Amino acid sequence: MSKKRTAVKRDDPNPVFNEAMIFSVPAIVLQDLSLRVTVAESSSDGRGDNVGHVIIGPSASGMGTTHWNQMLATLRRPVSMWHPVRRN
């Protein structure tokens, strides 16, 4: 398991996170692995409250599966796709 963080967007009610995330994953586990991207909102006390999440991978549905399949078809190339956030 691995975690990555994006930049913090302060004082922006509608932030856009257009950042690349690179993970090194052994090919043997790619068919069973799913990626969970969690969106958190930082409060004034520094805590991160989860706003929602996106699942990308074989356990996902819809766009999450489509995105995963495109990534598997073009290994080592970036694949960008917008995803709606599922509310927690």
- What is residue 73's predicted lDDT score, i.e. its pLDDT? 93
- What is residue 39's predicted lDDT score, i.e. its pLDDT? 85
Residue numbers of the chain with a pLDDT score lower than 50: none
Phi/psi at 76 (5° precision)? 70, 15
Strands (E), 1-88: 35-42, 48-56, 86-87
Which residues are CB-neighbours of 42 under 8 A, at least 6 positions away? 8, 48, 49
Boundaries of domain holding 32: 17-87
- What is residue 54's predicted lDDT score, i.e. its pLDDT? 93
- 72 found inside a domain: yes
- 6 found inside a domain: no
- What is residue 1's predicted lDDT score, i.e. its pLDDT? 67
- 57 found inside a domain: yes
Single pTM value for the model: 0.76
- What is residue 55's predicted lDDT score, i.e. its pLDDT? 95
Number of compact structural domains in the chain? 1
- For tokens 């991207």, what's the residue? 37
The amino acid present at 22, given as its one-letter code, is: I
